[in-house]
């Protein structure tokens, strides 16, 4: 599968510091970040924007990241969008069992790039993008 430049990423996250960090990472890749902290808005954004990948925090106000993932997987139009679970909780095995990738918080830029590459997304030159951080 050829790499696709400039990924569009939906981030479902309620922590402003985590949002800021991911925004910097996405800016370095030349991509676009769409952010929400709400379950329904996440599904709406995914349907409207058809992102390349969705990053979901596990601990969200009024819901969990698992519920967001279930909502995505229950929708025929959204179920094929790759999902990355992001958490400080040890949830790697549950994420993989749910057909999602996993990143441990705090997310390191190198790990962010590895996930994008694994999904066939090709950020801008990684050496150049590291200079922006």
C-alpha span between 126 and 64 (Å, rounded): 32
pLDDT at residue 124 tops 80: no
For residue 55, the model assigns a pLDDT of 98
* pLDDT tens digits, 17-51: 999 999 999 998 889 999 999 999 999 999 999 99
Name the token pair of 36.
Answer: 């929400």
Report the domain count for the chain: 1
Is residue 118 pLDDT above 50, yes or no? yes
State the pLDDT confidence band at 126, using cuts at 50, 70 and 90. low
CB 42 within 8 A of CB 57: no
Instruction: Give the tokens for residue 85.
Output: 């679970």
Is 45 in a helix, a strand, or coil? Answer: helix
72-106 pLDDT, tens digit each: 999 999 999 999 999 988 878 788 778 899 999 99
CA–CA distance, 81 with 3 (Å, rounded to integer): 16
Looking at residue 97, what is its pLDDT?
76
For 45, the domain range is 4-132
pLDDT at 28: 87
Q: What pLDDT, on a 0 to 100 scale, did the predictor assign at position 1?
A: 45
Give the global pTM. 0.88
The CATH number for 50's domain is 3.40.50.2300
The answer to whether residues 52 and 82 touch, using CB atoms and an 8 Å cutoff, is: yes
The pLDDT tens digits for 46-73 are 999 999 999 999 999 999 999 999 999 9
Contact between 52 and 4 (Cβ < 8 Å): yes
């Amino acid at each position: 599968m050829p790499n696709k430049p400039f990924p569009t990423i939906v981030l479902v996250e309620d922590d402003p510091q985590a949002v800021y960090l991911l925004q910097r990472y996405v800016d370095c890749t030349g991509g676009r970040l769409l952010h929400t902290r709400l379950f329904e808005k996440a599904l709406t954004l995914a349907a409207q924007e058809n992102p390349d990948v969705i990053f979901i925090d596990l601990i969200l106000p009024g819901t969990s990241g698992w519920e967001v993932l279930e909502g995505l997987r229950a929708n025929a139009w959204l179920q094929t969008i790759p999902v990355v679970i992001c958490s400080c909780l040890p949830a790697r095995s549950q994420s993989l069992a749910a057909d999602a990738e996993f990143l441990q918080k705090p997310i390191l830029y190198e790990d962010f790039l590895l996930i994008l590459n694994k999904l066939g997304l090709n950020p801008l030159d990684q050496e150049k993008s590291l200079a922006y951080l």
